[in-house]
Amino acid sequence: MRLGVLDIGSNTGHLLVVDAHGGAAPLPAFSLKEPLRLAEHLDEADALRPEGIEALTEFTRHAITFAEDRGCEEILAFATSAVREAVNTDEVLAAVAEATGTRIEVLSGEDEARLTFLAVRRWFGWSAGRMVVFDIGGGSLEIAGGADEAPEVAWSLPLGAARLARDQLGSGADEETVRRLRRWIRTEIARDAGGLLRGGVPDRAVATSKTFRSLARICGAAPSAEGQLVRRLLRRADLDQWLPKLLGASLEELSQLPGVSPSRAHQIVPGALVAEAVMDIFDLEELEICPWALREGVILDRFDQLSVLD
């Protein structure tokens, strides 16, 4: 069947149209993206501002038309951290539904981590053994680990790259601000780290999504043009070498690095600080980059549900 997956992230709205059926890898057919930057449209009280609601509504309307024009028989629409944590979530969803006829489901942080873990497990298979998976989004960091398709532990932390850029580095990355942010990030991650560490050393440590892909590319990983099947790693030694350079770079210089778009350049430093903390706290020398993440997890979970109904 042809399926549309509408992913409303904290940074980007992304519609992925795939051809898929049970037992096969989803085959991307069309893609539509727009930088909504919803995490940066939250006001001081964490309400999504009218301009953010309008941007979300217009993109959703466009995406639904795009999906219908390309023959999608089902559209799965979901939102993550920025919409989930807005104090006016119900108002936002109601406004979008009234304007577009589409009801967007809000995923919990735990579900986001669980579905991302499912996608990674299916990508690497059972030979990967016990895995740990990390995903730095715009609004949150998801962590999951386990030996099966469902993780043994899965949780979400408010450590997304866009959120940190907005809340912690808005006035610049001076030495004291970076030191304070670095300490706070590590405290947040370490608080519940024992739940993952008690499982022992993982057989494979994996990272997904744009921030990790960008950091891996900066540190020397192959470009996306070489395809999904090329093995890509983010090594702690490489990140340690690059981090002082990132801290000392201007936004213009950051935007010219490989794998970094101008719209996300301001998120690279906080994302790098989170990645560094993850690798230090869980004592990981490298993270392998997985091309599948939350969207693929949503698709796979849906087909699992359909197979049960059959």
Shared-domain flag, residues 279 and 185? yes
Q: Tell me, what's the pLDDT at 308?
A: 64
Per DSSP bridges, beta strands 13-19 and 2-8 are: antiparallel
- pLDDT, mean of residues 260-282: 96
Residue 56 resides in a domain: yes
**142-187 pLDDT, tens digit each:** 999 999 999 999 999 999 999 999 888 865 678 899 999 999 999 9
Residue 161 resides in a domain: yes
Shared-domain flag, residues 208 and 145? yes
Q: Are the C-beta atoms of residues 20 and 26 closer than 8 Å to each other?
A: yes
Shared-domain flag, residues 207 and 282? yes
The CATH number for 256's domain is 3.30.420.150
Last residue of a domain, one of 80, 106, 132: 106
- DSSP-derived letter for residue 16 is E
CA distance readout (Å), 182 to 107, 179, 242? 28, 5, 16
> Does the pLDDT of residue 223 top 90, yes or no?
yes
- CA-based angle 137:141:143, to the nearest 5? 125
The CATH number for 75's domain is 3.30.420.40
Shared-domain flag, residues 184 and 277? yes
Shared-domain flag, residues 272 and 173? yes
Q: Tell me, what's the pLDDT at 24?
A: 83
> Does the pLDDT of residue 310 top 60, yes or no?
no
- pLDDT, mean of residues 238-262: 95
- Classify the C-alpha dihedral 68-69-70-71 as positive or negative: positive
- pLDDT, mean of residues 239-255: 95
- pLDDT, mean of residues 219-224: 96
**Neighbouring residues of 272: CB distance < 8 A, sequence distance ≥ 6:** 215, 239, 242, 243, 246
> DSSP readout, 80-138?
-HHHHH-TTHHHHHHHHHHHHS-PPEEPPHHHHHHHHHHHHHHHH-GGG-SEEEEEE-S
Number of domains the chain contains: 2
The domain in which residue 161 lies consists of: 109-294
- pLDDT, mean of residues 31-41: 92
Residue 61 resides in a domain: yes
Structure confidence at residue 220 as a pLDDT band (50, 70, 90): very high
Residue 271 resides in a domain: yes
- DSSP-derived letter for residue 198 is T
Residue 190 resides in a domain: yes
Q: Which residue has the tokens 């469902």?
A: 150
Q: Tell me, what's the pLDDT at 272?
A: 97
Alpha helices in 106-235 (DSSP H): 109-124, 161-167, 175-191, 194-197, 210-218
